[in-house]
A and B are shown apart, each in its own frame.
Chain A
Amino acid sequence: MLKLVLPLAAAASLFAGAAGAQGMGAEDARHLLNRTGFDAQLREIDEFARLTRSEGVERLLAGTHTQARTPPPAWAKAWTDPRTVRRMGEEERRAFVRLQVERGLELKAWWLAEMLATPSPFTERMTLFWHNHFTSSLQKVRSPPLMLRQNALLRRHALGNFGELLHAVSRDPAMLVYLDSATNRRGQPNENFARELMELFTLGEGRYGEQDIKEAARAFTGWSIDLDTGEFLFRPRQHDDGVKSVLGRSVRTGDEVLDVLLAQPATAEYVAARLWREFVSPQPQPEELRRIAAVFRDNQYDVRAAVRALLLAPAFWAPENRAALIKSPVELVVGTMRQLGVGVSDPLPFAFLLRALGQDVLSPPNVKGWPGGEAWINSSTLLARKQFIERLLRVDETRMAMQQPAMREKMESLKPGARRLMQAMAELHFSGRDWLAPFEGREAMVPLVLLAGAPAGDPSGSGTDYLRALVADPVYQLK
């Protein structure tokens, strides 16, 4: 193993030398880019290696945007009044449900397309972070247009202000459906939203009482949806206008509840801890976390300020925290395809793949989202990951094999989802030789680009075989 560590370090210092003393160097650049984005290519790493850490972070922040570049599906603004659905006949309704399912898949494919093509992977990582924080699921919301609108909202505020995002998400129609706010009425409160608001969106578990939830739920009564338009609608007659006591404060409205929660130091700490686990390490350092939470609060919940403090914290760069996080399925799939430079014309089958890997985007398992970390990897998901990577590096062989009659027969026997994935994979092109060409004379950079740390095994071989051995190493699953 030692013999592999040395070339890595040598390559990094060699590069730092070439880039000038103040540049962060290739190893740091790789770390910054891959922790905040999707596996970077050599050229991106070279670009960032010349910058200082601080300049690199600023470059990342400056590159973020508030709107997706991929044009939304044609039905983006379509809204169907649920009352008309209820009036539909059996067959018409079934067709309607089928259409929603298809559009849901289209939506997943749309987001994947954006992640694959975006010039700012950080924007998508943050959008995904908020999707996993303010979760909603197509499974329950059942309206792809509303889920698309929520996704746009999360992206718009992804690096904006957390307080504004919280207020906006609380009246987001998909969220209103997902956590039953739409049926939360005076005299008959539904506590679902109020509970998750405190447990998962702001304070974190154990920082409030059952009574706070009951009172908060009353404050949100009347927050509903206009069935004609699918927009947020406040229904004064369903609102309980009485005084409620939340965390010892007297409030009347839902917005006042949100402000009470934002005024709690626990909220900044809780969100900062989640950001830490996303970007730094599985275990936050208490003192550093308090510092970053204070920055977050002192900057009125400016997400940029918190992220900047986090990415410049010594812990982010600490050697013991390198290669210490497990790639999520999205990071693995999108990252691998971006890094290997395979163009994808139809991302839809890869949405099925993400489901098999345990991260069905836009359909999280429950309101807590994906637990992540080691929970990403069990025998079933690890094998599916390895199979995907192996196939991706052998797409050319697969394409040829698929011409064989025996293979065609086998394809026929697959489930439609798996067959479509095989076909989509067969349309991809990857040539190890072409990919390796820019490394000419800088061969030691190959493992540095592909792996977050020294390999666990002893990958050997040359050319494409070497590539295969590197991505098959367990360390390829880490970031």
Chain B
Amino acid sequence: MTSRRNFLAASVAALFSTSLFAQSSGYRRLLVLVELKGGNDGLNTVVPYADDAYHRLRPRIGIRRDDVLQLDERAGLHPALKPLVPLWEARELAIVQGVGYPSPNLSHFRSIEIWDTASRSDQYLAEGWLARAFAGAPVPAQFAAGGVAVGGSDMGPLAGAGTRAIALTSPEVFLRQARLAKPVGAGRNSALDHILKVEAGIVEAAARLDAGAQFQTEFPRGPFGNAVRVAAQLAANPSGVAAIRLSLGGFDTHQNQPAVHQRLLGELAAGLAALKSALLEARRWDSTLVMTYAEFGRRPQENNSNGTDHGTASAHFVAGGRVKGGLYGEAPRLGDLDGGNLRYAVDFRSLYATALERWWGLSGAKALNGRFDPLDILRA
């Protein structure tokens, strides 16, 4: 308990140290990224149900007009997203349509790399956009970590040398194992440097993490529900983390999409609803911003296998206690496709700029390699 108090005292002191305050007080606000791995079908997530072209393009896998959860006279949610309706009604859910980038790449790996590194389509960057942001404006030293990748083995936007980022499946297991890490000696090649840096990150994080809060909230069963529980535990941790990345996989629905997509969106919605509930318990809902992302959306025209092939622009969710709910971006223009795919309306880096500038109060230009207009979707 004394050590906890010491940490709190340290963090209060840190808040008053002007240089640190100027740099990074914003990181008390948490960013939770949810990756929809495989490329989520935006058109069957936020359905342009009033558009005849939609039903023509998707005679078999289209969501019927009567089944959508209507948001307005044109757009509706997939019925499996019902758990998100309370967020929508509370005006805490922003839906950004048409998120993409110029000269889209249709390969999973290249496109997620573009999203993770916030690069142009023809530019190859080695570091994740959050890693770059944290390298430019360091996360306070008393934080347990800059970012935490929950579950999955890739670090995504947190990959890179300039940040203290860790991956864990649960705080309990992490703390039990952390004694095995001993960052010793100096690196002599990039492989060893990397290992030593990871060891050092473990030691630092372990000194500041607790085993995790208990919640009244019931989390959905399954890996995504577990990841949401871990995210809530990390959010409740007193020494803080700036960003958490969760992922839900399986969205590459080339075949038999309806059943698979229904299940995945159900897991996503139940998970996000549970996250809100737990963050309310932890009094962190107002200081948390949740954003979904994915490498791409899917092609408007359904394929012959009851599924959809790789596409371009898609709809994404932004949720949180300070979000101004509503529809943003641009409804899909199905009559004006580009080689069978949607044209984008909102650059994905504008979403990132929103997080960097409006949420954390940083300059986005450096981390994003250019100026992108943030969206006006947050309340002060």
Contact = CB atoms under 8 A, between A and B. Distances in A.
Interface of A: 1, 180, 183, 185, 188, 190-192, 195, 199, 205, 210, 282, 320, 323-326, 358, 365-368, 371, 373-375, 377-384, 386-387, 390, 453, 455-458, 472-475, 477-478
A374 B191 contact: yes
A39 to B, nearest CB: 17
A324 B168 contact: no
B107 interface: yes
A456 B187 CA distance: 7
B109 to A, nearest CB: 5
A453 B194 CA distance: 16
Interface in B177-191: 177-178, 180-182, 184-191
Contacts of A368: 108-109
A379 B166 contact: yes
B192 A378 contact: no
Contacts of B108: 366-368
Contacts of B154: 365, 371, 375
Contact of A386 (B181, B191, B201): B181
Nearest to A359: B153
A210 B339 contact: yes
Given A384-B177, A455-B185, A378 B149 contact: yes
Contacts of A380: 153, 166-169, 174
B198 A378 contact: yes
B192 A475 contact: yes
A183 B305 contact: yes
A190 B305 contact: yes
A370 to B, nearest CB: 9
Contact of B192 (A320, A323, A379): A323
A330 to B, nearest CB: 14
A5 B1 CA distance: 45
A185 B192 contact: no
B191 A325 contact: yes
B202 A474 contact: no
Nearest to A355: B153
15 contacts: A180-B305, A183-B305, A190-B309, A210-B339, A323-B191, A323-B192, A324-B190, A325-B191, A326-B191, A366-B109, A374-B190, A384-B177, A387-B180, A457-B185, A475-B192
What band does the interface of chain B fall in when counting residues whose beta carbon is under 8 Å from A? 35 or more
Given A195-B107, A358-B153, A379-B174, A190 B185 contact: no
A210 B303 contact: no
B369 interface: no
A358 B309 CA distance: 27
B185 A185 contact: no
A383 B181 contact: yes
B180 A381 contact: no
B255 interface: yes
Given A320-B189, A324-B189, 12 more contacts: A183-B303, A195-B106, A195-B310, A366-B38, A371-B154, A374-B190, A375-B155, A377-B198, A378-B155, A379-B166, A456-B192, A474-B195
Interface in B9-52: 38
B196 interface: yes
B120 interface: no
A180 B303 CA distance: 11
Given A1-B185, A378-B167, A477-B195, A282 B153 contact: no
Contacts of B165: 378
Nearest to B169: A380
A459 to B, nearest CB: 9
Interface string B242-257: 0000000000101100
B281 interface: no
